[in-house]
């Protein structure tokens, strides 16, 4: 599915940085576009493209992580990290689906608004209440999916750091060679 080593370094430890940046960025962009429709117009297709890149990065990172799991000592912390990692994909699929739906709805709403040039007041326009309800639903869903994805990303990262660093450092400073 993707590389497992990059310049002799396990690809997972490099790819994870992409996920750690893109998941919160996608969640934030999605929320901004749901709350402010003018922001969604500015973003245009960039929002679903960002969400798609985020979506693709998760299984690539997970695949590289599975490879790494089989090339390190059997450790319960590594197993826990891998199990948590498997839980991110549904959240990111949700972010992607909502990003596409928001973009598509924004396109259709803009087209409908341009066709209805006679109505001046938003409350008078046909379908204004339905659009308002959709907007509230988009805001609530983007908050829930964004928070879930970011929290899951944090949990995965925390467990990965614990798996990588437990018993691999000292809480006291080690003397430098040649010093007393």
Q: Over its length of 180 residues, how does the chain's per-residue pLDDT go in tens digits?
A: 788 999 999 999 999 999 999 999 999 999 999 999 889 899 999 999 999 999 999 999 999 999 999 999 889 999 999 999 999 999 999 999 999 999 998 876 655 555 454 455 544 566 677 778 888 999 999 999 999 999 999 999 999 999 998 877 778 888 888 776
Q: Return d(Cα 122, Cα 55) in angstroms, integer.
A: 35
> What is Dmax (Cα atoms) for the chain?
84
What's the pLDDT score for residue 167?
79
pLDDT for the residue 118 = 47
Query: Which stretch of DSSP H or E encloses residue 6?
Result: strand 5-6
- Rounded CA-CA distance 114/100 in Å is 21
Contact (CB, 8 A) for 51 and 58: no
Q: Which of 146, 38, 153, 151 is nearest to 99 (CA)?
A: 146
Question: In this structure, what are the phi and psi dihedrals at residue 70, rounded to the nearest 5 degrees?
Answer: -85, 0
E strand or H helix at 9: strand 9-10
The per-residue pLDDT for 129 is 79
Question: What Å distances lie between residue 72 and 68, 75, 96, CA to CA?
Answer: 6, 8, 33
Q: Which residue has the tokens 């599975």?
A: 66
């Amino acid at each position: 599915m993707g590389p497992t080593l990059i310049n002799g370094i396990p690809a997972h430890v490099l790819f994870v940085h992409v996920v750690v940046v893109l998941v919160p960025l996608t969640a934030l962009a999605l929320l901004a576009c749901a709350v402010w429709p003018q922001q969604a117009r500015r973003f245009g297709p960039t929002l679903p493209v960002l969400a798609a890149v985020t979506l693709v990065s998760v299984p690539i990172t997970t695949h590289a992580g599975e490879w790494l799991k089989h090339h390190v000592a059997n450790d319960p912390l590594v197993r826990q990290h891998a199990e948590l990692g498997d839980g991110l994909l549904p959240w990111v699929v949700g972010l992607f689906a909502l990003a596409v739906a928001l973009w598509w709805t924004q396109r259709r709403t803009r087209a409908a608004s341009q066709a209805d040039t006679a109505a001046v007041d938003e409350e008078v326009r046909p379908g204004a209440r339905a659009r308002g309800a959709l907007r509230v639903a988009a805001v609530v869903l983007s908050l829930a999916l964004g928070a879930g994805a970011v929290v899951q990303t944090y949990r995965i990262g925390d467990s990965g750091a614990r798996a990588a660093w437990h018993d691999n450092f000292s809480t006291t400073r080690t003397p430098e060679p040649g010093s007393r």
